[in-house]
Amino acid sequence: MAREEDSALVAEAKKIPVDPVTYSYTERDVILYNLGIGATETDLQWVYEGDDEFGAIPTFGVIPQFHASGSVPLDWLPDFNPAKLLHGEQFLSIKAPIPTSGELVSSARLLEVLDKGKAAAVTSVVETRDKSGKLIFENQSTVFIRGSGGFGGPRAGTDRGAATAENAVPKRAPDAVVEEKTTSSQAALYRLSGDGNPLHILPEFAAIGGFNKPILHGLCSMGISGKHVFQKFGAYHDIKVRFAGVVYPGETLVTQMWKEGQKVIFTTRVKERDAVVLASAGATLVSDSAKAKL
């Protein structure tokens, strides 16, 4: 839906139809994703389909929608260059129990386009449903395209609740901290869940992007930290992160978590470089998560 203050360019872009994308998967794909974000052979509920508690780690919700989100056209932006695109933020809302196999259909559309002057900030929304039409996931992805500003319209975004919350870190020690060393092959494994961007596997491609070696997928870092929140505090309705820095496979991620009512606010750093990689991050717990393992 167009905002009154949208430029004509953006108003027209919001009318461009985007075809739905179907994602078919089996329990094997769920296990592959869980392994890709660091589940181990001892986490039977995540790696053994015969376990009574077998299921997907909640951040699996970013996987069925991935190609739908990527199909939202951006080439209408002035001076658009895909090489100048950065994944800025991701919000996932889990609307129903996650099936461990089946067929899901994702429909994407432009939600908000901001003119940041020297860049554009584009947020798309993807609704993922099962074959009956039941809503399973909603994702909101924000990308920044450097060099594509100056088209007019709003500079600041609207308040979309948990999707845009700043999640300021409390001024006290964290309630829980989890450290996890990624493996040197983490990106090579995670890419099998659908993100085949060569930035994460080809050294020469990473070099073009200014990196001295392939980097870990931002959504993989989000998944690892989302797993930490789940392990410490239990199930959550939604999770949001801002991608603040890069992770190289083999580095150690440290997730610091603060429980504030029904929300867990968290920050993720690379231990070796003391660099923040996930910021303004938070997850809204489900009300019956008192059985969480603290």
Which pair of structure tokens corresponds to residue 167? 């999640």
Under the banding of pLDDT at 50, 70 and 90, the label for residue 288 is low
Whether 161 is in a domain gets the answer no
Whether 160 is in a domain gets the answer no
Within 8 A by CB and 6+ apart from 34, the residues are: 43, 46, 47, 56, 57, 60
pLDDT digit string, tens, across residues 201-252: 999 999 988 899 999 999 999 999 999 999 999 999 999 999 999 999 999 9
Domain end point (choices 150, 184, 205): 150
Whether 235 is in a domain gets the answer yes
Among 31, 57, 98, 215, the active-site one is 215
Do residues 67 and 18 share a domain? Answer: yes
63 counts as catalytic: no
pLDDT at residue 109, as a whole number: 97
Domain end point (choices 115, 150, 185): 150
pLDDT of 2 over the 70 cut: no
Domain end point (choices 112, 132, 150): 150
Do residues 21 and 125 share a domain? Answer: yes
Within 8 A by CB and 6+ apart from 210, the residues are: none
195 counts as catalytic: yes
- Answering whether pTM is above 0.85, one says yes
Of 61, 38, 69, 84, nearest to 216 by C-alpha is 38
16 counts as catalytic: no
Whether 159 is in a domain gets the answer no
pLDDT of 289 over the 60 cut: no
228 counts as catalytic: no
Read off the CATH number of the domain in which 37 is found.
3.10.129.10
Average per-residue pLDDT for the chain: 95
For 252, the domain range is: 176-291
Among 88, 218, 223, 226, the active-site one is 218
pLDDT of 181 over the 60 cut: yes
pLDDT of 180 over the 50 cut: yes
Do residues 182 and 263 share a domain? Answer: yes
Whether 281 is in a domain gets the answer yes
Do residues 146 and 62 share a domain? Answer: yes
Among 6, 29, 195, 238, the active-site one is 195
Query: Which residues in 267-278 are b (16+ Cβ under 10 Å) and which e?
Result: bbbbeeeeeebb
Whether 71 is in a domain gets the answer yes
Number of domains in the chain: 2
Whether 218 is in a domain gets the answer yes
